[in-house]
Amino acid sequence: MSTATEPTTERPFTQIEEADLQAALTSGRAVLQVMDETGDSKKIWNPDVPEEVEDAKESFKRLKKAGYAFFHVDVKGNQGEQMNEFAPKSGRYIAVKALAGG
Amino acid sequence: MPRGQTTAGTDTTWGAWNVNTVTLTGTSVTTGDNVFHLWCTGNTVSCATTSVVWETWASDATDPTWVRMGTLPHTRVRTYAQAEMPKARVGEVELRTLVHGIRDAVFALQAQEREERKKAAKVRARTLLDSLLDDGQRHTMEHKGYIPVYVEGPAPPAAPDYRGGGRKPTPLPERREYWIMMNGRHGNVKRVENDKVVESLCVAPGDSSIPEEDAWAAQLLFLRYNEHELRSRANVTLYN
């Protein structure tokens, strides 16, 4: 991920297989997906574990500062909303680099 | 330690080596000889000859392991040493051809690796895009090459930047239909009325390194959840 070069104490984003992603989501955990040159990099975290929530929040803040927009979508991917503030809840958070006119 | 030299048994460093615990069947073994001395003198040959350590080991019949180890490499080493290296001189042209060949091979490998990474990224991005679509959208995408997106609710204001050749944007309807064309990432978002394209919006994520499938997913997310933001950043071309 292009923004991962900055010094950080966050847990790293990784390439997680779709099956593992679905298993995490159905077990009530949350996934932060960042679009990048590899397709997307992911970080799974548990909304009930304070350390993991803090880590996800740190990633959220860093990416937002780098110009990413966030969308929270449900497990099926059909319902969602854009998020301007971090909220520790289950489901998928998709980070997209801000739009620019062509 | 020089070959054949004995040292006093009290020497702390070499003392352990000075203890003669080996009994050999050869000749000229003196009680108290140290290990190094035995290497040189403890068997059928002595230091005065051209014998070397490996030969002594090899000819020590009390230890067949060393015999094997000593014999085979000894022969091979001699063979390699005696083998002549190729002495042909390489001309400048041949050298340059060789270097260019190696360079081209490295470039080809790097290009292949890039291509494989790109393919893997497209597959991953397509999985993300698929996960955001309903069955109808997926069907249209696979059969018609575009993703239909319907947006309902209060219409956002007209985009400030539009190119209409003198035409003015008309008010947006309550229910708006967009097509995300799967053909590039710029100018691929169309607003459609009665199956006719009335606007073309050129807007994409600022990161051009992401696969096209990611760009389409981003356009889809913005159309669904923040159409206003997408329209306000887009360059709009009018067709009505």
**Which chain B residue lies closest to A22 (C-alpha atoms)?**
B131
DSSP code at position B110: H
For residue A33, being part of any structural domain is answered with yes
Higher pLDDT, B80 or A25: A25
Q: Give the Cα separation of B38 and B23 in Å (integer).
A: 10
pLDDT in tens, A50-77: 999 999 999 999 999 999 999 999 877 7
Alpha-carbon distance B224 to nearest alpha carbon in chain A (angstroms): 8
Same domain, B153 and B222: yes
Spell out the residues 6+ positions from residue B98 whose beta carbon is closer than 8 angstroms to its own. B90
**pTM metric for this prediction:** 0.68
pLDDT in tens, A7-18: 567 788 888 888
Of B50-54, B158-162, B210-214, highest mean pLDDT: B210-214
Alpha-carbon distance B109 to nearest alpha carbon in chain A (angstroms): 19
Among B180, B214, B230, pick the best mutation site for testing chain A contact (most A Cβ within 10 A). Answer: B214
For residue A82, being part of any structural domain is answered with yes
User: If you average pLDDT over residues B160-172, what whole number do you get?
Assistant: 67
For residue B159, being part of any structural domain is answered with yes
For residue B192, being part of any structural domain is answered with yes
Closest CA to B137 of B197, B79, B68, B224: B224
Q: Is the pLDDT of residue B15 over 70?
A: no
For residue A19, being part of any structural domain is answered with yes
Q: Which domain holds residue A27?
A: 2-97
For residue B111, being part of any structural domain is answered with no
Higher pLDDT, B108 or B1: B108
For residue B52, being part of any structural domain is answered with yes
Same domain, B131 and B227: yes
> What local confidence, expressed as pLDDT, does residue B23 receive?
46
Count structural domains, chain B.
2
Q: Is the pLDDT of residue B135 over 90?
A: yes
> What local confidence, expressed as pLDDT, does residue B167 receive?
67
Higher pLDDT, A24 or B24: A24
For residue B218, being part of any structural domain is answered with yes
Same domain, B170 and B233: yes
Q: Is the pLDDT of residue B57 over 90?
A: no
- The verdict on a CB contact (< 8 Å) between A71 and B221 is yes
For residue B180, being part of any structural domain is answered with yes
Same domain, B68 and B162: no
Q: Which of B3-17, B80-94, B169-183 bottoms out in mean pLDDT, i.e. has the lowest?
A: B3-17
- The verdict on a CB contact (< 8 Å) between B202 and A33 is no
Q: What ipTM was predicted for this assembly?
A: 0.88
CATH number at residue A14: 3.10.20
Same domain, B66 and B166: no
For residue B228, the Cα-to-chain-centroid distance in whole angstroms is 42
Count structural domains, chain A.
1
What pLDDT band is residue B86 in, cutting at 50, 70 and 90? low
Q: Give the Cα separation of A30 and A51 in Å (integer).
A: 14
User: If you average pLDDT over residues B144-153, what whole number do you get?
Assistant: 94
Same domain, B150 and B221: yes
- Interface A–B counts its CB contacts (< 8 A) at 108
Same domain, B73 and B147: no
Same domain, B136 and B234: yes
Q: Which domain holds residue B168?
A: 127-238
Q: Per 3-state DSSP, what percentage of chain A is helix, strand, and coil (rounded to 5)?
A: 30, 35, 35
Same domain, B77 and B166: no
Residues 40-99 of A with CB under 8 A from B: 40, 67, 69, 71, 73, 77-78, 80-82, 94, 96-99
